[in-house]
Amino acid sequence: MNQIIILGSANAVAKIGQDNAHLLIRSAEKQIMVDCGNSPFARVSAAGGSITEITDLILTHAHADHMGNLPLLLMDMWLEKRDQMLTIHGLEITLEKARALLEVFDWQHWAGMFPIRFNRLSDTGNEGFIRGEDCVVSALPVKHLVPTIGLRIAFSDGRVMAYSCDTEPCDNVLKLAQGADILMQEAAGEAKGHTSPRQAGEIAMGAGVRKLVLIHYENRVDQDTIIAQAKNAFTGEVVLAHDLMTF
Ligand SMILES: [Zn+2]
């Protein structure tokens, strides 16, 4: 059951069949959503899950393509009559903005609203901030345009996966990805706060990962070109993320 499902693989500009980048980490005990794309309810259903079963939501940073639909996700959970607590993890500034976003919709007055716990993450590192029997999730700050965290997920079956989230190349991405089986690396392009496909290959090579999954890439560019650019720097397997791809 230990799985990571790519619910959305697009950069900020989604298209039909390709949602904004967000993930679902599934194990027997934990169902962890990472960010929420443009249609979280539909995507989780398509992945065979249910938003009422999500135990944790990690918000990596306060950009609209990563948490703009938070009010809708919570409203859908409420309409689906969820009653178990949801823990929302994020840096202080991210949680502040999430709360402000929810206030717009008066969420605390939704009748019978399920409980929410906000878990403020440290901006210096969070070893095992989610610790289930089958998976442990850790976070480190990465280098984006606003405060952002990247993730490292260790499953009880021994597999380790890393998610860079939005970032330019930096030491902490290398740390998160060190020796991982899979690195899900953003490849939006060479710009401040982002990573090009070639740089993604360099990170994968430097961290010694087995497989590089490019995510949050420019979807109006030829896909073979993106893969080829990453392969110029990385000798391992390179794949382009698509929605509902499962690892
Ligand atoms: Zn961003």
Q: Using one digit for the tens of pLDDT, what is the confidence trace for 150-189?
A: 999 999 999 999 999 999 999 999 999 999 999 999 999 9
pTM, full prediction: 0.95
Beta bridge partners of 87: 56, 117
Structure confidence at residue 13 (pLDDT): 83
The tokens describing 147, both together, are: 């405060």
Measured over the CA atoms of residue 177, residue 235, residue 167 and residue 223, the dihedral's sign is negative
Question: What stretches of 160-222 show up as alpha helix (H) in DSSP?
Answer: 171-177, 197-207
Q: Using one digit for the tens of pLDDT, what is the confidence trace for 107-166?
A: 989 999 999 999 999 999 899 999 999 999 999 999 999 999 999 999 999 999 999 999
37, pLDDT greater than 80: no
111 alpha carbon to ligand 1 midpoint, in Å? 33
Q: What is the DSSP letter of 54?
A: -
Which residues contact residue 84 at a Cβ distance below 8 angstroms, ignoring those fewer than 6 apart?
52, 55, 114
223 alpha carbon to ligand 1 midpoint, in Å? 21
The position carrying tokens 């996966």 is 161
213, pLDDT greater than 80: yes
Domains of the chain, each with CATH number or no CATH: 3-240 (3.60.15.10)
Q: Output the furthest CA–CA distance in the chain (Å, rounded).
A: 55
Beta bridge partners of 88: 57, 118
141 alpha carbon to ligand 1 midpoint, in Å? 13
What mean pLDDT comes out for the span 233-239? 97
CA–CA dist 65, 35 (Å, integer)? 9
Query: Among residues of the chain, what percentage have pLDDT more than 70?
Result: 100
100 alpha carbon to ligand 1 midpoint, in Å? 18
81 alpha carbon to ligand 1 midpoint, in Å? 31
What mean pLDDT comes out for the span 185-212? 96
Structure confidence at residue 70 (pLDDT): 96
89 alpha carbon to ligand 1 midpoint, in Å? 17
Question: What stretches of the chain show up as alpha helix (H) in DSSP?
Answer: 40-46, 64-67, 70-79, 92-103, 171-177, 197-207, 223-231
How high is the mean pLDDT of the chain?
A: 94
Structure confidence at residue 11 (pLDDT): 87
Residues with CB under 5 A from ligand 1 (ion): 63, 166
